[in-house]
Structure 1
Amino acid sequence: MCIITSSMAGSAAVKAMKLRVGLCQMIVSASKSENLAKAREMIGKAVSQGAELVVLPECFNSTYNTKLFRQNAEEIPESISKINPEKSPSLVMLAEEAKKHHITLIGGSIPELQNGNVYNTATVLSWNNDRITKHQKCHLFDVDIPGGISFHESETLTPGRGFTVYDYASPSAEMKIGMGVCYDIRFPELALGYVRKGCRMLVYPSAFNMSTGPLHWEILAKGRAVDSQCFVMLCSPARDVNASYVAYGHSMIVSPWGRVVGELDEKEGVLIGDVDLAECDAVRGAIPTMKQKRSDLYELRVLDVWSVCCETGEINRLLEQGRRLARKHSSTSPLVIMKSSCGKARLMGSPLDLEMTPRHTMP
C-alpha cells in the first residue's frame, strides 16, 4: 500500500480535500471474459482497501494488438442507461462495479467502435451519475525504434480530437480530472491545457513497453506532474513475458512536487494512495509557474474541437454548409468546427472562415 503524505499541504490556502485512489495493475489475456472477471476481482481488492476512485489500465479488456482492435471494439454510449449488453459487455461490467461499490471508476481504455472508426477510448463511470465520460486517445502510438519495437496504432485506430475533463465529486473531495491515454503523456501541451481547465489530477491508463518503459515511464510521469503541478496517475497492465506485446508495468502515482509517492513493480497488484489535493495549491503557490508564463514570447492555445459531435445532425448540417461554400469558391481547405471564446461555432478552413450565430452551437 502506498500512502501519500504531504509536508506542504498544510500551507495551502484552501481546505484540504483528500481521497483514496486505487490503481489496478492486471494481467491482460486474449480472453475478454477472463479479463472482465479479473477486472472485477481487482476492483474489489481496491475497494476493500478503501479506494473511492479506481483506475484500470489501457486496453484492459483485450490484447493490445492493432490487428485485433476492431474485432474487440465495443460501442460506448453517452449514458449508462443506453448500454447494449450485446455490443458493450465491458461497459456493463464497469457500470455494475461502480454501482455495486459506490465508486467512481476510470475504466482504463478499450477499443471503441464509432461510426465505422475504431478509437482507443478511456471511460469514466460513477455510481451516482448516468453519464459516461470518455476520452478518445489523441496521439496515436506510431513508432519505429531501432533494435526495439515497431508499432503503428494508426493502421487501425482513429485519433481523438479534444480534451476530456471529468468533474469528480464525493463527500471527501471535489476536483477536475484531466484524461489521457498512454502516448498522450508525451505531450506537455495537453497537460498544460488541462491546467487551464482547472484540473488538479491527470490520469493516464497506459501500456508502455520494454523498449520505452525503463527509460521514459518515470521521467514522463514526473515531467507532467512538475509541468502541470497536478497529481499524475499512470495505470499499466502487469507484465506478461509471453504476450505479443509485453507491458512494462510499474503503475505509479506522482505528486505535484514531482515525487514518486507510490509505485508497483511489474507483477499484478493494486496500488493504493491517499491524495491530498491541497498539495496542488501549495506547490502552485510556492512555484507559481502558470502565473509567470511569458505571453509576450510564446502562447499555448487551447482549442475545443467539436469533432466528437460530428455524428449529430446539427453539426453535420454546419459541415455541409461549409462544404457548399468550399465548392462555390473551389476551395479544398479542411473544414473543422470549433468553439470560439465568444460562444459561437466557427467553421475553420472554409473560404470565408464563416462564423455561425449562437443558435447553431451545441448545448
Structure 2
Amino acid sequence: MRVAVCQVNSREDRKANLEVAAELLDRAAAAGADLAILPEYVDHLGPADTAPVPEERDGEFAAFFAAAAARHGMWVHAGSFHERGPDPDRTYNTSLIFDRTGRLAGSYRKIHLYDVEIPGRVSYLESRTVAPGAEPAVVPVDGLPVGLSICYDLRFPELYRRLVELGARVLVVPAAFMLHTGRDHWEVLLRARAIENQCYVIAAGQIGDHEPGRTCFGRSMVIDPWGTVLAQAPDVVGVTVADLDLDRLERIRTELPSLANRRL
C-alpha cells in the first residue's frame, strides 16, 4: 500500500485552506497513493471568531473530501474538522475517512483533549470549546485495519494498544502539534507507538505559524513497525509518500512476538 502524508499551513481562510488540500490530494493521487492523510483542522486553524459554523458528518466539509476521494479513486483521511457537538458551546474534533468511491467509511472523535498551561509559553484549554469522544475506531482500508487517533491522543499509549486489540496494523495521527513540544517529543512518541504496537504509523501535521500566536511543528512522517522513519516531510507545505510493506509487518510480529507475549 502506498500512503501520502499531506502537510499544510491552514489559516483562517477556509476556502483557501481547502484549495491547498485539494491541490495536495491531486499530487498524492499523481504519485500513486492508495491512501492520503491530511492534518488536524485542515479546513481552519485560526482565531475562534473566524471559525466555520460546526457541521454534521454529512455537511459541506464531508462533501468536499468525499468528492476528492471519488475523483481520484483514492482513500482520503480528511484530517479533522469541527463537528457539531453536544451543546452550543462545544464541538467535536472529528476525523472522517472516505473510500475510493467517496463513501464515508469511518469516523473518530478525538478522545484526549489538549488542556495545557505552561507559564509564559502556552495556555490552551481545548476542553473549553471541544467535547471529548468516547469510542476508539478502526477502519478497514482495502482490507487493512487502520486505527484512528488525533494529535494529543499520541501521549496516551493505552488508546493505541486498544486499537491494536481491535486489529489495527496501521495507526494514523493527524495533528497540529505545537513547536515547543514537537521538537522534543513528536518523533519520539510516534516511533514509540510504532515499536510498542508493531504497527506502521502515519502522521500528518500542520506546519508553521497560525493566529493567534500558535506555531506548529510539522515534520509529517511515516514510520515502520520496527520504529524506522521511512519518510519525513521537510519544513514546507507539501506531500510525502511511502510504501507500506505488510509482509514486513507480519514478519516483525512473528520474529519479535511482544504483542503475543503480553501478560497484562
TM-score over 0.5 for the alignment? yes
2:240 corresponding residue in structure 1: 271
Distance 2:249 2:139 in 1: 17
AA aligned to 1:47 is A
For 1:1-363, list aligned pairs within 5 A: 19-64=1-46, 67-68=48-49, 71-76=52-57, 83=58, 88-116=59-87, 117-128=90-101, 130-169=103-142, 174-240=143-209, 244-294=213-263, 299=264
Letter in 1 for 2:54: A
Give 1:132 shift: 4.3
What is the SS of the residue equivalent to 2:180?
coil
The number of equivalent residue pairs is: 262
**Kept after mapping to 1: 8 A contact 2:147/2:172:** yes
Distance in 1, matches of 2:200 and 2:55, equals: 30
Distance 2:219 2:77 in 1: 18
Structure 1: gaps spanning 5 or more residues: 1-18, 77-82, 300-363
| C-alpha contact 2:179 2:215 (8 A) present in aligned 1 | yes
Structure 2 portions without partners, runs of 5+: none
> Matched residues in 2 for 1:240 and 1:118: separation?
23
Q: CA deviation at 1:128?
A: 3.0
CA contact (8 A) 1:70 1:113 kept: no
Please give the secondary structure, in 2, of the residue aligned with 1:112.
strand
Structure 1 residue matching 2:253: 3-state secondary structure: helix
Q: Percent identity?
A: 32
Matched residue type, 2:4: G
Distance 1:243 1:64 in 2: 6
Alpha-carbon distance change, 28 to 44 in structure 1, aligned in 2, over 3 angstroms: same
For 1:241 and 1:190, locate their aligned partners in 2 and report how far apart those are by CA, in whole Å: 28
Counterpart of 1:271 in structure 2: which amino acid?
T
CA distance in 2 between counterparts of 1:203 and 1:251 reads: 11
Give, in whole Å, the separation in 2 of the partners of 1:30 and 1:164: 29
Distance in 2 (CA, whole Å) between partners of 1:240 and 1:214 is 15
How many Å apart are 1:129 and its aligned residue? 6.1
SS at match of 2:32: coil
How far apart are residue 292 of structure 1 and its match?
A: 1.3
Larger fraction in strand? 2
Higher mean alpha-carbon deviation, 277-286 vs 67-76, is at 67-76
CA contact (8 A) 2:114 2:124 kept: yes
Report the CA distance shift for 1:243/1:44 in structure 2 as closer, same or farther (over 3 A): farther
Q: What do you get for the CA RMSD once the two structures are aligned?
A: 1.7
Preserved contact between residue 138 and residue 161 of structure 1 (Cα < 8 Å): yes
Q: Helix, strand or coil: the match of 1:217?
A: helix
Give a deviation string over 1:16-59, Cα, whole Å, max 9, x none: xxx11111101212111111111111100111111110011000
Residue 191 of structure 1 and its aligned partner are, at CA, apart by 0.8
With the length of structure 1 as denominator, give the TM-score of the two structures.
Answer: 0.69
Q: Which amino acid aligns with 2:32?
A: G
Q: Distance between the aligned counterparts of 1:146 and 1:20, measured in 2?
A: 42
Corresponding residue of 1:318:
none
Q: Which amino acid aligns with 2:101?
A: N
Distance 1:266 1:147, change over 3 A: farther
- In 1, Cα distance between equivalents of 2:213 and 2:85: 26
Equivalent residues of 1:149, 1:211 under 8 A apart: no
* C-alpha distance 129-63 of structure 1, shift in aligned 2 (>3 A): closer
| Separation of aligned partners in 2, 1:228 and 1:204 | 14
SS at the partner of 2:215?
A: coil
Output the TM-score relative to the length of structure 2: 0.94
1:262 Cα shift? 0.7
Matched AA of 2:252: V
C-alpha separation between the residues in 2 aligned to 1:69 and 1:278?
46
- Aligned residues of 1:69 and 1:111 also touching (Cα < 8 A): no
